[in-house]
Amino acid sequence: MSHVIIGSGPIGSGVARLLVEQGERVRMVTRSGSGPEHRLIERVAADASDARRLTELARDAEVIYNCANPKYTEWADKWFPMNNAMIAAAKASGAVYAITGNLYGYGPQPGGRMTEDTPLAATGRKGRIRIKMWEDALASGIRTFEARASDYVGAGAVSTLSAVLLPAINKGRTAWAPGDVDAPHTFTYTGDMARTLVTLARDERAPGQAWHVPSGPAITMRELAARYCAAAGVPRVRVRSLPRFVMRTAGLVVPIARELAEMDYQFYAPFHMDSSRTERTFGLAPTDLEIALRETAAASEATAARRM
């Protein structure tokens, strides 16, 4: 089995579809055995934190893709055992360990601009978790790289667009977003993350480094909502900023609000991810935002139709 994918969310499923389109055989590992149905995809139910079991499943792997996504409130408990198990499996098989990463490790940055040379200076819990995961992978001696993305757009992506803007747009109501809705923010298409992982996993220049996924110019949440409405062919809605204290106050009693409040610096100030190094090195380019938004709209319509 050449490719083992941990996780079947939009990234893991996107990686699987790209690989089978190229005639590759894929083994997807999730706790429930979920994933796209295809004759070249073997879906296996297993605990990704079980190093022995994962090593067995990845015995002949050329690449192990970490596309897992524990619940926000479970990061401290779930991420390290899973990451350690994937590292052990990669070490045993000699596979490349391709990590789906994010920008949390950088923490707040002056001017909100980040390149791959930006120091990993996060002091928050989730940022420190991501830093240690990456450092542990590098220290293990395996061939590994991390593809880092900003907040996602695309079918199935969990983000500000899906969690905050879409529910309001679908109901024709004002969207109250937790952040400065006029601050520029980089968004990454899930399809571009999948394509970056597959491309870099085959390139000897990738291991040992982190790479930013090709992403378009930063836009504001207000503009994102307007462009989504245009792509979906629905009326625009008002987009207003939720006062910062609201989520922080809710976080005193609501665990998920507390986790979200920890990362709110990303949305109350400019947040720019520079992906030019990846684009130059590997000849990749970001997908047009309109394509990602039309895909998101189509998935939202399909979900609404199933509920009727």
Report the pLDDT value the prediction gives residue 129, as an integer from 0 to 100.
97
Is residue 82 within 8 A of residue 48, CB to CB? The reply is yes
Q: Round to whole Å and give the CA distance between 227 and 221.
A: 10
What separation in angstroms does the CA of 158 have from each of 3, 10, 143, 189, 219? 25, 9, 29, 12, 18
Ordered DSSP codes for 206-217? STTSEEEPP---
Nearest CA to 223 out of 175, 191, 263, 258 is that of 175
Q: Round to whole Å and give the CA distance between 200 and 207.
A: 8
Report the pLDDT value the prediction gives residue 80, as an integer from 0 to 100.
97
Q: Round to whole Å and give the CA distance between 111 and 271.
A: 8
Q: Round to whole Å and give the CA distance between 297 and 167.
A: 12
The pLDDT profile of the chain, 308 residues, written as one tens digit per residue, is 589 999 999 999 999 999 999 999 999 999 999 999 999 999 999 999 999 999 999 999 999 999 999 988 899 999 999 999 999 999 999 999 999 999 999 999 999 999 999 999 999 999 999 999 999 999 999 999 999 999 999 999 988 888 889 999 999 999 998 899 999 999 999 999 999 999 999 999 999 999 999 999 999 999 999 999 999 999 999 999 988 777 677 655 556 666 677 888 999 999 999 999 999 999 999 999 999 999 999 987 644 444 44
Q: Which residues contact 110 (CB under 8 A, 6 or more apart)?
A: none
Is residue 232 within 8 A of residue 293, CB to CB? The reply is yes
Report the pLDDT value the prediction gives residue 256, as an integer from 0 to 100.
64
Structure-token pair, residue 256? 């998920």
User: What pTM does this model have?
Assistant: 0.94
Tokens 């400019």 — which residue?
Answer: 270
Q: Which residues contact 232 (CB under 8 A, 6 or more apart)?
A: 169, 293, 294, 297, 300, 301
The C-alpha angle with vertex 172 and arms to 169 and 178, in degrees rounded to 5, equals 50
Is residue 132 within 8 A of residue 83, CB to CB? The reply is no
Q: Using the 8-state DSSP alphabet, how is residue 74 labeled?
A: G
* 103 backbone φψ class: left, alpha, beta (φ>0; ψ -120 to 50): alpha
Structure-token pair, residue 303? 């979900």
Q: Round to whole Å and give the CA distance between 291 and 285.
A: 14
Q: Round to whole Å and give the CA distance between 142 and 97.
A: 7
Structure-token pair, residue 209? 């480094």
Q: Is 145 helix (H, G, I), strand (E, B) or coil?
A: strand
Report the pLDDT value the prediction gives residue 15, as an integer from 0 to 100.
98
Q: Round to whole Å and give the CA distance between 220 and 160.
A: 12
Q: Round to whole Å and give the CA distance between 68 and 46.
A: 13
